[in-house]
Amino acid sequence: MSTTVTAPRGQEKQQQEAPIGSRWRVLLTPLAVLLVGAATIGYTRFAELDSTEARSLSLGFLADKLWEHIGLTTISTVLVLAIALPLGVLVSRRWMRWSTPAVLGIANVGQATPPVGAIVLLAATVGIGFWPAIIALVVYSVLPALRNTMVGLQQVDAALIDAARGIGMPAWRVLAKIELPLAVPVILAGIRTTLVLNVGVAALAGFIGAGGLGEIVVAGVNTSRPVTLLVGSILIALLALLVDWIAGLVTKALQPKGL
Amino acid sequence: MPESTETPQSLAELAADGERTGGVPIELIDVVKRFSGTKGAAVDDLTMTIPAGEIVVLLGPSGCGKTTTMRMINRLIEPTSGRILIGGLDARAQKPDELRRHIGYVIQQAGLFPHLTVGSNIAQVPQMLGWEKDRISARVDELLELVGLAPDEFRDRYPRQLSGGQQQRVGVARALAADPPVMLMDEPFGALDPITRENLQDELLRLQDELSKTIVFVTHDVDEALKLGDRIAILGTGSKIVQYATAEEILTNPADSYVEQFIGGESAMKLLKLTRVSDVALEQAVRATEADSAADVRRKLEEAESDWVIVLDAQDRPLRWESLADLEGATGTIGDLTAGEDDLFDTVISGRATLQEAVEALLNAEAEVVPVVGRRRRYVGAVTLSTVQQAIAEIKERERRQRKQRAAEAQPGVAV
Amino acid sequence: MTLWEYIASRSDMLAFQTLQHASMIAQCVLIATLIGVALGIAVYRNERATALATGTTSLIFTIPSLALLGLLVVPLGLGVWPSVTAITLYALLPILRNTIVGLTGVDSSLVDAARGIGMSRTRVLTRVQLPLAWPVILSGVRTATQLAMGIGAIAAFVSGPGLGDQIFSGLARVGAANALNATLVGVIGIVVLALIFDAVLVLVGKLTTSRGIRIHA
């Protein structure tokens, strides 16, 4: 050993935690969501409501719709991931590379499709209700998720894959040990987007009687009740912000070290 | 090839044969590589032998097919036709992944996996070979030591916390993990700053002294090739070998104008850089120790018809010069003499220094003679400007003789 | 009634709604581009201002379109205004973000060189930074346009203009004869419009990006 070297000092600083100042800021979003949420619900308790408003703003009804909304979002997201992740991996294999432009092209057209159009089309062909809404949600958000998985895998430095193959890793190990872990940041960001997107699209499910907080908004517009409309809108917005916040935390926690 | 009762069938068995594996030869026979959609072959009928335990540099301009040639050895690229034998075994008869685990692979900018720690990067191949955990971690530490990184400090770091030079040290360690007989290095030091590059080149030579692997080294840097290569293959388009010879031969007798142009001018200066002081005939000054009597030493000097004596300590380490004039009329021992200002050395050079460094030292030194030391600073001789001049003349003469001899044997020699 | 017959029987109205949709999106994206680029230029040099601007726009972006429309209907009433406001707000984020990324992505040595030969701040911005950041900004505009198209469809729910009307009249008549036709016309019309807009923006990009940059891109 002729020259034992030590690591440059400057780089150690980067390892340290973020300054304390930004820690409480992490809690800002849930606090604000809780505060606005409580104020909104509180208002519906104390304000004078007519019978139409009272029906669609009762605590039990709100809780039901919230629960349905979460159900729509979670089930559709899980299905989307179950389809998009394996498919994205498959399409990114070397022997499937020819299909990349076609898949990306379809994904682009898919993104140009208005989500409300997708939902109504499903209702007009399959029928109304929960499961047609789920199908519409999955159809709508599977393409961006698929594209994210593909992009995530494609942006992995080709030199690293070459190095992995060069030291004798079989293809499956290159995928499991190198490509997927390195694609995790992009894939996770994609999942977060999918999740938030699905909260929004799930709101549109209210149009086809599939439940969810969207129904409150629809009821508000159809019955010309601004309070109902406002409460429904606020709750959807708060749910989206909360889901985004949780997904953000999970994304950070699952980030591979060293990147 | 190691002798064993059963002939090994794969590089893996070959590698597992010895405790520590030295290199095995590599033969490329009529190798052709055509890429679909391109005119002409990337590698056009290449035949060459890479001797065991040597560093062979593939040197050529970018796009000449040198990297393609190298990547065919570990089958990252499959040849269109031809055969590649590694340690006498056909590369194509072995599973590519298993073959690659026994061929070290080092690429530009190291290609370390950023999400794995340094230790885990190095451990990849042993893991794939199914080694036990203890053995792997011991091997990781051993390799980190070998490449000059303190294991305790570096094992658990991530590649991005390392400098470029440190990353490439880890890259070399990863390549050496399963003690492969063959190493492929694709412009490994190309992205480093000049000082780090020099350091790592020296380290590689030191490692090679210890390990004697067969190393195929791709570069387009002439100085790097001359410094590292036991042999250098200068390649033209289609990986055609223009000249395949030692650095000395290429410098003293370039095969054609292409080679001449490629290696550039100043070939004598490059020869100086190439030759180590310990490899040339040194001046032998009269030696003395502190305890010798001045009269005896004076007699020795007169016998040797020399004016200067070098004074060594008990471990043969040089202390100072004494001149005949100083000894004139002295009675006691050498140690009794008062050393004059000009008797002290301002420079001592190591036997491992190049002749270029020796010339540099001579031009800067007050004296016309500079002592040379070997291991543990033992005195081995002295060097003067005429020593250097003579050494260069001898190299040229030797190359000329060898050329004639080869011509007489009517063989094309290694140059194809 | 087939899809073609449906289109033929209402061609005047469909043409009007298509034009209306296109003009609504074009205007909203134009406004969003002006605001987004101006805002981007104003904040990109200051880290705090950048964080505030992107934070606010991404907050708006996270709010689902139906909810944002609902929130806007209360102060703005039904019709064109909530639709236009919502679409413009959504279109803002990609444009603002790409403006900031584009401007900060300009090689600082080029800015240095421009200052060095005596260009004023404004001139550096208009002659060096904006032209170099333009491809990035434009790709933000493309994303914004795609987004605006989809959200424009929901606008009909709050009595906004455009092809969304077809989708919602389809919804209102689910099960009836022309429900599927109306929805299909709405959806396909919007997809086609989106693709045409995207093609136009790609063309604009080709025409307005310096050839010197495109060589590398």
Residue A57, domain CATH: 1.10.3720.10
Q: Which residues of chain B have pLDDT under 50?
A: 1-5, 18, 413, 415-416
Cβ separation of A5 and B105 shorter than 8 Å? no
Q: Does C168 touch chain A (CB under 8 A)?
A: yes
| Partner chains of A (3+ C-beta pairs under 8 Å) | B, C
- Secondary structure element (H or E) that encloses residue B31, with its range: strand B26-33
Question: CA of B173: which chain A residue's CA is closest?
Answer: A167
> What total of structural domains would you count in chain C?
1
Q: Between residues 78 and 97 of chain B, which touch chain A (CB distance below 8 Å)? A: 96-97
**Partner C contacted by A163 (CB < 8 A):** no
- Yes or no, beta carbons of A169 and B174 under 8 Å apart: no
What's the angle, vertex CA A219, arms to CA C159 and CA A196, rounded to 5?
80
Chain A positions touching chain B (beta carbons under 8 Å): 1-8, 11-12, 15, 157, 159-160, 162-170, 173, 177-178, 181-182, 256-259
Contact C67 A236 (CB under 8 A): yes
Contact residues on chain A for B146, CB-CB shorter than 8 A: 1
Question: Can you tell me the distance from the alpha carbon of B289 to that of B336, in angstroms, rounded to the nearest whole number?
Answer: 11
Query: Which chain C residues contact residue A66 at CB under 8 A?
Result: none
Chain B: residue nearest A10 by CA? B161
Q: Quick check: A12 pLDDT over 60?
A: no
Nearest C-alpha of chain C: how many angstroms from A197? 8
Best CA proximity match to A88, nearest among A163, A193, A186: A186
Which of A2, A9, A94, A167 to mutate to test binding with chain B, by most B CBs within 10 Å of its CB? A167
DSSP state letter for A90? H
Please report whether residue A122 resides in a domain: yes
Q: In this structure, is residue C104 part of a structural domain? A: yes
Assigned domain for A39 exists = yes
Residue C215 lies in a domain: no
Residue A259 in domain: no
| H-assigned helices in chain A | 10-15, 23-26, 28-46, 51-56, 59-92, 100-112, 115-125, 130-154, 158-166, 171-173, 180-204, 214-222, 226-254
State whether residue C101 sits within 8 Å of chain A by CB: no
Q: What is the CATH number of the domain that holds C13?
A: 1.10.3720.10
Output DSSP code: residue B97: H
Phi, psi of B333 (to 5 degrees): -90, 175
* Neighbours, chain C (3 or more CB pairs < 8 A): A
Q: Could you tell me the pLDDT band of residue A242, with boundaries at 50, 70 and 90?
A: very high
Chain C residues lying within 8 Å of A36, measured CB to CB? none
Q: Would C216 be classed as within a structural domain?
A: no
User: A258 vs B159: CB contact, 8 Å cut-off?
Assistant: yes
In a domain, A172, yes or no: yes
Which chain B residue is nearest to residue A255, measuring alpha carbons? B115
C124 touches chain A (CB under 8 A): no
Domain B11-102+178-274 CATH class label: alpha beta
pLDDT of residue B344: 64
Q: Is B352 on the interface with A (CB under 8 A)?
A: no
Query: Which is it for the CA torsion A68, A70, A72, A78, positive or negative?
Result: negative
What does the pLDDT look like over A16-57, one tens digit per residue? 444 444 566 778 888 989 999 989 888 888 877 787 777 778
Query: Is A40 part of a structural domain of the chain?
Result: yes
Residue A22 DSSP one-character state:
G
pLDDT at residue number B143: 95
Distance in angstroms (rounded) separating the CA atoms of residues B77 and A165? 11
Give Cα separations from B391 to A221, B282, B382, B404 (angstroms). 99, 9, 13, 20
- Rounded to whole angstroms, how far apart are CA atoms C180 and C173? 9
| CA gap B76, B361 in Å, rounded | 47
Chains C and B touch (3+ CB pairs under 8 A): no
* Residues of chain C above pLDDT 90, percent: 35
Q: Which domain holds residue C96?
A: 3-210
Distance from CA of C126 to the nearest CA of A (A): 33
Instruction: Say whether pTM exceeds 0.80.
Output: no
Beta carbons of C70 and A114 less than 8 Å apart:
no
Q: What is the pLDDT of residue B410?
A: 56
Amino acid at A56: S
B51-60 residue pLDDT tens: 999 999 999 9
Residue C85 in domain:
yes
Is CATH 3.30.1130.10 what the domain over B279-389 is classified as, yes or no?
no
A138-186 pLDDT, tens digit each: 888 888 888 889 889 988 999 999 999 999 999 999 999 999 999 998 8
The neighbour count for residue B291, using CB atoms within 10 Å, is: 9
Q: Is residue A37 part of a domain?
A: yes
Q: Do B113 and A160 touch (CB under 8 A)?
A: yes
The pLDDT score that the predictor gives to residue B245 is 92
- Tally of structural domains, chain A: 1
Q: Which residues in chain A are contacts of B153 at CB distance < 8 A?
A: 6-7
Nearest CA in chain C to A225: C74
Dihedral class, residue B48 (left if φ above 0, else alpha if ψ from -120 to 50, else beta): beta
- Selecting from B76, B108, B128 the residue whose C-beta is nearest the C-beta of A166 gives B76
One digit per residue, the tens of pLDDT, for chain C of length 217 reads 788 888 888 888 888 999 999 999 999 999 999 999 999 999 998 889 998 888 888 888 888 988 998 889 888 888 889 999 999 999 998 999 999 999 988 888 888 888 878 788 888 888 889 988 999 999 999 989 988 988 888 888 888 888 888 888 888 887 777 888 888 899 999 999 999 999 999 999 888 887 777 655 4
d(CA A201, CA A76): 10
Question: Of chain A residues 225-244, which have a CB less than 8 A from chain C?
Answer: 226, 229-230, 232-234, 236-237, 240-241, 244
> For testing the chain A interface, which of C52, C58, C61, C62 should be mutated: the one with the most A CBs within 10 Å?
C62
- 3-state DSSP helix/strand/coil % of chain C, to nearest 5: 85, 0, 15
Contact: A233, C170; criterion CB under 8 Å = no
Are C143 and C94 in contact, with CB atoms under 8 Å apart?
yes
Residue A21 maps to a domain: no
DSSP B259-313: HHHHH-S-HHHHHHHHSBGGGSPPB-PEEEETTSBHHHHHHHHHHHT-SEEEEE-
Give contacts of A181 with chain B, Cβ < 8 Å: 115
Q: How far is C167 from chain A (nearest CA, A)?
A: 6
CB-defined contacts A:B, below 8 A: 102
CA dihedral defined by B89, B93, B98, B99, rounded to 10 degrees?
Answer: 40
Q: What angle do CA B270, B273, B274 make, to 5 degrees?
A: 90
* CB spacing of C195 vs A112 below 8 angstroms: yes
Q: What pLDDT does B17 receive?
A: 54
pLDDT value at residue B2: 45
Percentage of the residues of chain A whose pLDDT score is greater than 70: 90
Tokens of B130: 């199914």
Q: Where in the sequence of chain B do the CATH 3.40.50.300 domains occur?
A: 11-102+178-274
Position B4 scores a pLDDT of 45
Q: Do C170 and A116 touch (CB under 8 A)?
A: no
Judged against a pLDDT cut of 80, whether residue A2 lies above it is answered with: no
Tell me which DSSP letter residue B55 carries.
E
Report A:77-116 residues touching C (Cβ under 8 A). 109, 111-116
Question: Could you tell me the residue range of the domain that residue A206 belongs to?
Answer: 28-254
Burial, B355: exposed, middle or buried (Cβ in 10 Å; 0-12, 13-18, 19+)? buried
